[in-house]
């Protein structure tokens, strides 16, 4: 169990005060380091014990078969699975002839600290060997945010009271044994030892291993080199084999003497480049790292992060758990995306193999809002990646007998990898989520160039898809049938409100973008008639409403479906205990769907509708998806259930830090982490941007004293500082001296010269706080009191 004792609540660190092997698996994810290109799980330096050994390179995957007992037309036949690549973080230690292993001897001290300003993971160990020799080990790891292909480890061993002969074996290891990932023997076979050796070479101090995946034919190189500092004699040698390289360092230490090893790692992969090119690329990465030096890498790491925090930090007074957690969230989202550079941001970042390392709509829907407001260059790169898959999405649309482009539900490289279409292909909303992420980027950054570079094509092709998917009925109303909204407990429905609103916005946005870029639109054969058709569909879209109940059904007829029997069936998550054939036609909701529509398309709902809808769906939402709590936080805050919003924020924040979904071992939940930011900024901050204006409407629950957050808006840097009475907007700098925002529904002009303080708008909730399904009330937040 991850407790406050084991993981004390500190504002800028995640500290583990002792080693609890029962949660080793979770800690491997929590302390994972990444720059979006390289990811390393927090496996112990000495390799064992471990839960899941993990070293990942973004988008380096193997192809695996997708089996179907009953196949159907258009089902993808091959999936993509992230591969555990050559492990360079291994440093085995022998004290005299005893291998250092925390399971033997006496572990006198064991602390790990993730420093979110330094960007390092430090481990402090004091260990007494079974024969009584005591050593201190301090290791510090980083995956460089500054040098994309580089990771580095400083490893210091000190003899404490007696002389000790110290041997360190620093390794590169390919094809590590992993826990089985699939019950299907064919899949397991593909992922068992996925790398075939291509090349290996070594010097005295280091080595290079080059491997290739069998089916996807991707080549990767890993290289290591070492700087060694020790008083007295030291012997260094390196051996290599097909699947490993080992640099052995031997010396003797008198009490107080220290052996310091700085291990530099270079990684690269390519689907195109040759073996020599990759070999030289990792050698170059090592050269760069060594030229910069260990301290230089540390300094660059901190500088990168200082710059990030300066315009991303969120300060929360009154709830130290959430304070720590939102920084943890921002840090990991940055790690997942900083240097992804036109690769996908997977749903688990590079912290584990959950969901096969796939990226979903989570990226555009949950992760990119945070990045767009705090690290827009990373958001732009993620969008460029998505746009780079447009041709594959067009092929998929053609296969589906649709026009335009149909982006995949889950993928690494761009091909659809979902083997269950009712919750995959049918979730067409992913296309609007992607299109709207381009639109959000343009609106928030004020940067039109990405639209011209690639966003327009995505807008146009997704609009074309929607027009071919939807239809006007005999009364001229536009419907979209046979789709699945965000809620995966009701699928293949008519007129999902979320989907219809998002599709209509996608259509309008495409039409507007074509007017902004008429030549480019012309190059895509967009005609005035086509634009008219988009606008007409958007204008006539059907948004079902249940007049009797005064709420929006999440899809046509939803509010008339059978009610779920929450007196009997409450084994969560329901999908592990109930078949889809029963879940789908009942009023039970896995995750915010209509409620998410009210966040993203807030202008389409009146305050009374919002209040009644929140009340209705709260009672029927099981939150069996990690994507739900953050959105429930946002909308509970919007309708005035501020304490409940605080609880949901806490739940979103702690999902990984307290392993609430029992699967943190498989990697961190990037969307829910990003959702923690949304819960605070869009929930208590009231941030909305769906009407192309920066709208804020902050208000705090009684349990929080103060909330301060930073944003970028059209190249302005803005700070929002909220307490119970008022909010102070500070326009730090920008392209102009003033900016008009919307505060509590009214325009407000901000000036760079001085902060502007205005009163918060109190809200009286229309309805009392709603009940959740039995057992599904959110965990109560722990305020400091």
What are the residues binding its own copies (CB under 8 A)? 66-70, 72-75, 79, 184-186, 399-402, 418-422, 425-426, 471, 473-474, 479, 481-483, 491-492, 494, 548, 556-557, 560-562, 569, 575-582, 584-586
Phi and psi, residue 373, nearest 5°: -85, -15
Q: What does the block give as tokens for 620?
A: 């029927």
**Nearest-angstrom CA–CA distance, 440 and 204:** 52
Question: 372: cis peptide before it, omega within 30°?
Answer: no
Looking at the Cβ atoms of 79 and 686, the one nearer to its own copies is 79
Looking at the Cβ atoms of 199 and 661, the one nearer to its own copies is 661
In this structure, the strands spanning 695-696 and 738-743 are parallel
**Nearest-angstrom CA–CA distance, 447 and 674:** 23
Angle at CA 353, nearest 5°, toward 349 and 359? Answer: 50
Looking at the Cβ atoms of 541 and 642, the one nearer to its own copies is 541
What size, in residues, is the chain? 785
Q: Is 409 annotated as a binding residue?
A: no
Beta-carbon contacts of residue 591 (< 8 Å; ≥ 6 apart): 486, 487, 488, 621, 623, 624, 625, 627, 628, 631
The sign of the CA dihedral 377, 383, 386, 390 is negative
Helix (H) or strand (E) holding 239: strand 234-240
Looking at the Cβ atoms of 12 and 580, the one nearer to its own copies is 580
Q: What does the block give as tokens for 150?
A: 């580089």
Angle at CA 474, nearest 5°, toward 468 and 478? Answer: 40
Looking at the Cβ atoms of 83 and 397, the one nearer to its own copies is 397
Q: How far is the CB of 473 from its own copies (least distance, A)?
A: 5
Return the beta strands (E) in 484-555 as ranges.
493-494
Angle at CA 647, nearest 5°, toward 644 and 648? Answer: 90
**Nearest-angstrom CA–CA distance, 737 and 113:** 42
Structure-token match 């695996």, residue found: 64
Looking at the Cβ atoms of 324 and 591, the one nearer to its own copies is 591
Could you say which of 488, 530, 601, 618 is catalytic? 488
Q: How far is the CB of 575 from its own copies (least distance, A)?
A: 6
Q: How far is the CB of 558 from its own copies (least distance, A)?
A: 10
Q: How far is the CB of 663 from its own copies (least distance, A)?
A: 16
Looking at the Cβ atoms of 617 and 650, the one nearer to its own copies is 617
Q: What does the block give as tokens for 716?
A: 């302005």
Q: Is 361 annotated as a binding residue?
A: yes
Residue among 742, 677, 678 nearest 713 (CA): 742
Q: Is 590 annotated as a binding residue?
A: yes
Q: Is 734 in a helix, a strand, or coil?
A: coil
DSSP state for residue 451 in the 8-state scheme: I
Say how far residue 594 (Cα) sits from the centre of its chain. Answer: 23
Looking at the Cβ atoms of 398 and 726, the one nearer to its own copies is 398
**Nearest-angstrom CA–CA distance, 596 and 628:** 9
Q: How far is the CB of 188 from its own copies (least distance, A)?
A: 12
Q: How far is the CB of 489 from its own copies (least distance, A)?
A: 11
**Catalytic residue check, 395:** no
- The total of other beta-carbon atoms located within 10 Å of residue 21's CB is 11
Q: How far is the CB of 561 from its own copies (least distance, A)?
A: 6
DSSP state for residue 411 in the 8-state scheme: B
Q: Is 154 in a helix, a strand, or coil?
A: strand
Structure-token match 């000036």, residue found: 751
Q: How far is the CB of 469 from its own copies (least distance, A)?
A: 9
Report the binding-site residues for substrate. Answer: 361-362, 590-591
List active site positions: 488
Question: Binding site, residues?
Answer: 361-362, 590-591
């Amino acid at each position: 169990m991850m407790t406050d004792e084991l993981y004390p609540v500190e504002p800028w660190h995640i500290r583990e005060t002792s080693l609890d092997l029962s949660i080793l698996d979770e800690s491997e994810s929590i302390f994972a380091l990444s720059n979006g290109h390289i990811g390393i799980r927090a496996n112990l330096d000495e390799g064992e014990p471990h839960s899941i050994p993990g070293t990942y390179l973004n988008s380096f995957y193997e192809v695996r078969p997708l089996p179907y007992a009953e196949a159907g037309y258009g089902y993808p036949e091959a999936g993509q699975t992230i591969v555990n690549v050559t492990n360079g973080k291994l440093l085995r230690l022998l004290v005299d002839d005893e291998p250092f292993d925390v399971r033997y001897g006496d572990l006198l001290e064991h602390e790990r600290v993730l420093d979110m300003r330094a960007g390092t993971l430090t481990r402090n160990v004091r260990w007494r060997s079974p024969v009584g020799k005591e050593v201190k080990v301090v290791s510090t790891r980083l995956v460089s945010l500054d040098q994309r292909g580089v990771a580095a480890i400083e490893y210091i061993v000190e003899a404490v009271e007696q002389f000790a002969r110290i041997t360190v074996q620093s390794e590169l290891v390919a094809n590590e044994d992993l826990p089985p990932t699939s019950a299907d023997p064919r899949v397991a076979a593909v992922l068992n030892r996925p790398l075939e050796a291509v090349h290996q070479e070594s010097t005295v101090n280091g080595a290079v291993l080059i491997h290739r995946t069998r089916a996807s034919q991707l080549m990767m190189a890993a290289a290591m080199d070492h700087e060694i500092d020790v008083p007295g004699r030291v012997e260094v040698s390196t051996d290599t084999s097909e699947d490993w390289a080992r640099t052995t360092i031997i010396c003797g230490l008198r009490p107080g003497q220290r052996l310091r090893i700085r291990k530099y790692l270079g990684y690269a992969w390519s689907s195109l480049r040759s073996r020599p090119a990759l070999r030289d690329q990792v050698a170059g990465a090592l050269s760069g790292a060594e030229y910069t030096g260990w301290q230089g890498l540390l300094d660059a790491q901190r500088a990168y992060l200082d710059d990030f925090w300066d315009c991303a930090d969120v300060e929360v007074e009154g709830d130290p758990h959430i304070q720590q957690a939102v920084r943890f969230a921002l840090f990991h989202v940055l790690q997942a995306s900083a240097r992804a550079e036109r690769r996908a941001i997977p749903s688990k970042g590079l912290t584990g193999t959950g969901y096969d390392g796939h990226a979903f709509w989570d990226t555009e829907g949950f992760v990119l809002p945070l990045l767009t407001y705090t690290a827009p260059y990373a958001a732009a790169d993620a969008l460029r990646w998505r746009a780079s898959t447009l041709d594959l999405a067009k092929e998929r649309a053609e296969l589906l007998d649709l026009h335009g482009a149909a982006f995949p539900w889950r993928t690494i490289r761009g091909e659809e990898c979902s083997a269950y279409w009712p919750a995959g292909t049918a979730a067409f909303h992913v296309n609007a989520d992607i299109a709207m992420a381009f639109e959000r980027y343009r609106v928030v950054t004020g940067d039109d160039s990405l639209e011209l570079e690639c966003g327009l094509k995505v807008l146009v092709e997704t609009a074309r898809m929607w027009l071919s998917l939807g239809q006007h009925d005999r009364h001229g109303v536009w419907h979209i049938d046979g789709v699945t909204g965000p809620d995966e407990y009701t699928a293949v429905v008519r007129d999902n409100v979320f989907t219809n609103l998002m599709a209509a916005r996608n259509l309008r946005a495409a039409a507007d973008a074509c007017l902004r870029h008429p030549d480019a639109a012309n190059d895509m054969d967009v005609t005035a008639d086509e634009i008219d058709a988009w606008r007409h569909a958007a204008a006539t879209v059907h948004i079902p409403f249940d007049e009797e109940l005064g709420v929006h059904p999440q899809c046509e007829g939803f509010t008339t479906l059978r009610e779920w029997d929450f007196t009997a069936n409450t084994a969560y998550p329901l999908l592990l205990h109930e078949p889809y054939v029963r879940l789908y036609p009942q009023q039970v909701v896995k995750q915010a769907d209509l409620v998410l529509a009210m966040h993203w398309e807030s202008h389409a709902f009146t305050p009374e509708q919002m209040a009644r809808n929140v009340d209705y769906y709260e009672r029927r939402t099981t939150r069996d998806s990690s994507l739900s709590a953050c959105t429930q936080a946002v909308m509970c805050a919007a309708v005035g259930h501020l304490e409940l919003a605080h609880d949901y924020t806490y739940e979103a924040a702690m999902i990984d830090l307290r392993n609430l979904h029992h699967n943190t071992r498989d990697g961190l939940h990037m969307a829910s982490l990003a959702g923690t930011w949304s819960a605070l900024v869009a929930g208590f901050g009231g941030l909305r941007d769906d009407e192309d204006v920066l709208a804020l409407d902050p208000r705090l629950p009684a349990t929080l004293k103060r909330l301060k957050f930073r944003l970028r808006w059209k190249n302005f840097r803005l700070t929002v500082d909220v307490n119970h009475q008022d909010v102070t907007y500070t326009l730090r700098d920008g392209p102009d001296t003033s900016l008009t925002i919307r505060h509590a529904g009214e325009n407000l002009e901000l000036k760079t010269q001085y902060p502007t303080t205005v009163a918060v708008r109190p809200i009286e909730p229309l309805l009392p706080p709603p009940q959740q399904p039995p057992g599904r009330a959110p965990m109560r937040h722990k305020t400091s009191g």
